[in-house]
Amino acid sequence: MTVHFVGAGPGAADLITLRAAALLGGADVVLFPGTYLDAEVLSHCRPDARRVDTQDLDLDRITAAMVEAHAAGHEVVRLTSGDPSLYSALHEQTRRLDAAGVPWDVTPGVPAYAAAAATVGRELTVPLVAQSVVLTRTQARSTAMPERESLAAFAATGATLVLHLAITRARALMAELAPHYGADCPVAVVSRASQPEELVLRGTIGTIPDLVEEAGLRQAAVILVGPALASASDAESYLYSTERVTRKERLR
């Protein structure tokens, strides 16, 4: 028996992979983060599967549930919101499973930032505007950030920023970003991307704090910041340019 860490995507039941659906359908025990997922995601589970909501459990209790299920000969799926490679505590959990001698594997999922970008209809990398995306978070009542990973340092590059776990500090963060991007830089906030209660706020570094506070957002929201969101550039990528195609034809 194996513990399968499975990316549940941004929350919508139809935005998980075929592999994820198959693993859920074969699982005897499913652990899931109830805070972030639409309950419909669990419709892929067998009716008789045991479901464990982990939103109020610490890592030791979560791991104990997985180890006990494995010892009982059960197939286990540990759902994570978005993709397991981002803020999923994968390392902490797999380290504990290794110590207990429990095998595990990982199935990727659609990350929340990708769902947010799709919702607002924007590419996060625009030629001659921004060709890098920084996925980061901030520190409040959470794990400390490494000193070298300051928001100001990332903002100084002009890259598109994707801020996770940061919605309760929107006003302070925008004040920190304004000197680098300017108050008129576009910002999009997507709460519960792809889920029935999805909410989209569009504004600028100067206006988005008021919008966030008026909406009362406290969790499950992604903040997108950067000039690429304006989509005002007429520049086009070299990959699909006439210049490249013509050069390729000449070399044949």
Structure confidence at residue 149 as a pLDDT band (50, 70, 90)? confident
Choice between 142 and 49, residue whose per-residue pLDDT is larger: 49
CATH number of residue 10's parent domain? 3.40.1010.10
CA distance 33 to 56: 9
Structure confidence at residue 236 as a pLDDT band (50, 70, 90)? low
Amino acid at 77: V
Query: How much is the pLDDT for 213?
Result: 97
Domain boundary among 76, 107, 138: 107
Choice between 235 and 167, residue whose per-residue pLDDT is larger: 167
Q: Does residue 167 sit in the same domain as residue 205?
A: yes
Mean pLDDT, the chain, integer:
91
Q: At residue 24, does pLDDT exceed 80?
A: yes
Q: At residue 107, does pLDDT exceed 80?
A: yes
Q: Does residue 101 sit in the same domain as residue 119?
A: no
Q: Does residue 225 sit in the same domain as residue 188?
A: yes
CA distance 206 to 179: 11
Averaged over 31-46, what is the pLDDT?
A: 91
Averaged over 71-83, what is the pLDDT?
A: 96
Q: Does residue 122 sit in the same domain as residue 225?
A: yes
- Are 53 and 89 in contact by the 8 Å Cβ rule? The answer is no
Range of the domain at 48: 3-107
Domain boundary among 107, 132, 147: 107
Q: At residue 172, does pLDDT exceed 80?
A: yes
Percentage of residues in the chain with pLDDT exceeding 70?
89
- Are 206 and 186 in contact by the 8 Å Cβ rule? The answer is no
**42-62 pLDDT, tens digit each:** 999 999 999 999 999 999 999
- Are 76 and 66 in contact by the 8 Å Cβ rule? The answer is yes
CA distance 130 to 200: 22
199-204 and 3-7 as β-strands: parallel, antiparallel, unpaired? unpaired
- Are 133 and 168 in contact by the 8 Å Cβ rule? The answer is no
| Interior/surface letters 45-75, b for 16+ CB within 10 angstroms, e for the rest | beeebeebebeeeeeeebbebbbebbeeebb
Query: How much is the pLDDT for 240?
Result: 62
Query: How much is the pLDDT for 72?
Result: 97
Residue 149 lies in a domain: yes
Query: How much is the pLDDT for 139?
Result: 64
CA distance 148 to 143: 15
Query: How much is the pLDDT for 168?
Result: 93
Q: At residue 233, does pLDDT exceed 80?
A: no
Query: Quick count: other Cβ atoms within 10 Å of Cβ 211?
Result: 16
| Cβ contacts of 118 within 8 Å, gap of 6 or more | 193
Our count of domains for the chain comes to: 2
CATH number of residue 141's parent domain? 3.30.950.10
Query: How much is the pLDDT for 1?
Result: 77
Q: Does residue 155 sit in the same domain as residue 92?
A: no
Q: Does residue 98 sit in the same domain as residue 163?
A: no
Query: How much is the pLDDT for 36?
Result: 83
Q: Does residue 121 sit in the same domain as residue 219?
A: yes
Query: How much is the pLDDT for 157?
Result: 93
Query: How much is the pLDDT for 234?
Result: 59
